[in-house]
Structure 1
Amino acid sequence: MTLNIAGRTIETNYQGFLFNMADWSEDYASEIAERDNLKLYNDHWELIYYFRESHIANMAAPTMHQMVRDLGRKNVRFHEQKAYEQHIYSLFNNDPVHELCKLAGLPMPQPDD
C-alpha cells in the first residue's frame, strides 16, 4: 500500500507496517492511528517511543510482559503491574504489541510460540 504523508510517499504492507523503518515519523504514526480509528494521547506516544527505543537497543520489539515490567515500575499512577497492563489494553483494545509495532514503524511481531 502506498501512502502520501506530509508530502512523502511511504510504502507499507497491506496491514500498514512499514517496508522501510527509516520512513517512520510522528506524521506516519498519526495517519496510521487515524486509519485504525485511534486517537493518540500522551500515554500512546510514551508507548510508541518506548517501542522504538527498545527496538534500537535490542533489535526486537518488547513483549507485553517486558513492557509492563519496564514501564509499570516507572509509572506513578499505577502501583501494580496488572493495573498497568489493563491500562495498556484500554489504550489498544485488540493486540497492544501488534498495534504498537505498527505505530512505531517496526516490523510486524511474530506470534508467540
Structure 2
Amino acid sequence: MPLDVEGKSLETDEEGYLVDLTEWTEPAALELAKTENLELTESHWEVIHFLREYYNEFQIAPAVRVLTKAIGKKLGKEKGNSKYLYELFPYGPAKQACKIAGLPKPTGCI
C-alpha cells in the first residue's frame, strides 16, 4: 500500500514498513505515524532519531531489549525502560518506532 508524502508515493510492504529506506524523511515519519494513530512529540522524535542513528551504525533495527538498554545508555535511565517506551509506542517500541523511523521490522518481532 503506497504512502502519499508531499505528493510523492512511497512504497510500503504489507505491514506498512517502507520498502526503500532511503525514501524516509520527517514528513514521511509523520504520515507513517498517522497510520499508527500516533501524534509525534519531541519524545517520539528523540527515539526515532536514536533508532536511525543506531541503524546507520549497526545496519540492524534493534529488538526491544537492545533498544531499551541502548536508549538508557544514551538518553538516561528514565527513558531507557520499557514502560516509558510503551507509553510512546503502545504497539511495541521496537516494531512501531522502527516503522515510523523508516527502518525494517526488527528481527525477532512477530
**Gap runs ≥5 in structure 1:** none
Which of 1 and 2 has greater Rg? 1
Contact kept? 2:11, 2:19, Cα under 8 Å: yes
RMSD: 1.9
Aligned equivalent of 1:93: 90
C-alpha change, 1:110 and 1:69, in structure 2 (3 Å) is closer
Deviates more, 1:102-111 or 1:69-78: 69-78
Alignment TM-score, normalising by the size of structure 1: 0.85
Which residue of 1 is the match for residue 50 of structure 2? 50
Aligned to 2:62: 62
Partners in 1 of 2:94 and 2:76 — Cα distance? Answer: 22
Aligned position for 1:31: 31
Matched residue count:
109
Provide the rounded CA distance (Å) in 1 between the counterparts of 2:34 and 2:4.
Answer: 14
Does 2:90 match 1:103?
A: no
Alpha-carbon distance, 1:20 to partner: 0.4
- The two structures have a TM-score, normalised by structure 2, of 0.87
CA contact (8 A) 2:5 2:31 kept: yes
Q: Structure 1 residues 58, 70: CA separation in 2 closer, same or farther (over 3 Å shift)?
A: same
Change (3 A) 1:110 1:75: closer
| SS of residue in 1 equivalent to 2:72 | helix
Q: Which runs of 5+ in 2 are unaligned?
A: none
* 1:2-41 equivalences in 2 (<5 Å): 2-41=2-41
Q: Contact 2:63/2:106 (CA < 8 Å) preserved in 1? A: no
- Identity across the alignment (%): 33
Secondary structure of 1:40 counterpart:
coil
Q: Which amino acid aligns with 1:94?
A: Y
